[in-house]
Amino acid sequence: MNLVNNNIQFIDSTGTLMIKPNHVNSDDITINANFPHYDYNQTLDLNFKAKFIKLKKSKKLDMANIRLAEDLHKLLNYIEKLPNNPPIRDRLIFNKKEKYREALISHLEKINSTKDFQFFCDT
């Protein structure tokens, strides 16, 4: 039992079951913890709230997202070479995002620093 939040949690692969008493008297909890043999009369019936929280199922990544992650990983290797405001993709020249990323990564591989960064061809 989590005495800070006064709740009990059961967790499995499908979700979490949270059980919380409606009325909690911190003195009663202290008495039970320190003197479990102490028998006292409780005037209130035990009354609990239960809530089940289902785990969200994750979707599998498609190839476009995997390629994007790979390109971002490559760009992180060259982040110090990028200017503060890198050029945006010209959709007339780069009709696909992948081609723009490929050209940007290729340009960054060829230069040494931000000072060498010129707006690469076709932006």
Q: Is the pTM of this model over 0.75?
A: no
Q: Is 18 exposed, middle or buried (0-12, 13-18, 19+ CB in 10 A)?
A: middle
pLDDT in tens, the chain (123 residues): 444 467 888 888 888 888 887 765 555 555 455 555 555 555 555 677 888 888 888 788 899 999 999 999 999 999 888 888 877 888 888 889 899 999 889 988 988 888 888 766 654
The structural domains of the chain, with segments of one domain joined by +, span 8-54, 63-116
C-alpha distances in Å from residue 43, one per residue of 26, 75, 105, 106, 111: 15, 66, 72, 76, 78
Burial 92-122 (b: 16+ CB within 10 A, else e): eebeeeeebbebbeebbeeeeeeeebeeeee
